[in-house]
Amino acid sequence: MLGGLIVTDPVTPINGGETLTWDGSRIIEPDVDERIAILYEDEWFIAVNKTGNLPVHPSGRYFNNTLVAILEDRYGRKVYPAHRIDRETSGVILLAFDGKCAGALSESLAMGSKEYLALVHGLFPDDEMIVDLPLGSDHESAVGKKRKAGAGGTETALTRFRKVLWAGKISLVRCFPETGRLHQIRAHLEAAGYPIVGDKLYGRDKTAFLDFIRDGFTAEMEKRLLLPRSALHAAKLVILHPQTKKKMIVHAPLPEMFADFIRAQNIHD
């Protein structure tokens, strides 16, 4: 509303001094997976196991169907994410009950360590793989937010990878990001030749993301991608508690989707 009047024309001019309000309550948002498990809780913060179809913050088509909004509704108070993971990435995320604690948690995370699990295409080597490639925008992609690892990147990035097992032509890999760049693990695995199963943006199928934006997730797309979402999971965080200074290790168990997929590959191998 603009000055108390409902306005539907997006080019309506604003002269200054008016009161502008927006009501998104009637907008139908995409469904999300709200099965959020609390892994740790105290008076300062919580650690949750985020599901693999849930954005952290409001963005795009999501406003109320977000991790932050759902937790604020459950707790009846504000929560402040200390970091973020992608909508389709499951696993551990920390949220504070006030802004000051969120800042302290972020500092603890910067000095701590993270471990992810990923299902990737291809037979990953037995020896540890280190990908030390800078990240930057992928100017060859039709998707503006896509990143690329390699020459021309402006952000230093390093990730260590270790194979856990092979299942058919798929590998389960542990991922240890030494830096915290946007889409770092996904872009580094793509650059190494082992794209994540189900990844619409950095996977084997380069048309999947735009097809998903246009048509949504279809049965035909699931056949192409093998899984309904990117098989990346934030499995463990190691930090010092920002208040007590005690070492904390927070685990999020392997998602059933991963285990079921691995068993299916071994059966058909």
Q: What is the pLDDT of residues 76-107, one digit of tens each?
A: 999 999 999 999 999 999 999 999 999 999 99
Q: Which of 158, 148, 142 is nearest to 208 (CA)?
A: 142
* 121-173 tens-digit pLDDT: 999 999 999 999 999 999 999 898 999 999 889 999 999 999 999 999 999 99
Residues annotated as catalytic are 86
pTM for this model (two decimals)? 0.88
On the question of pLDDT at 267 being above 60, the answer is no
pLDDT given at position 138: 94
Residue 84: phi and psi, rounded to 5, are -145, 155
| Residues 237 and 112: beta-carbon distance below 8 Å | yes
Q: Are strands 232-240 and 90-96 parallel, antiparallel or unpaired?
A: parallel
38 token code pair: 């609390």
On the question of pLDDT at 269 being above 60, the answer is no
Would you give the end-to-end CA distance of the chain in angstroms?
A: 60
Four-residue CA torsion sign, 30, 59, 91, 248: negative
pLDDT given at position 2: 72
Tell me the domains of the chain and their CATH numbers.
1-111 (3.30.2350.10), 113-230 (3.30.2350.10)
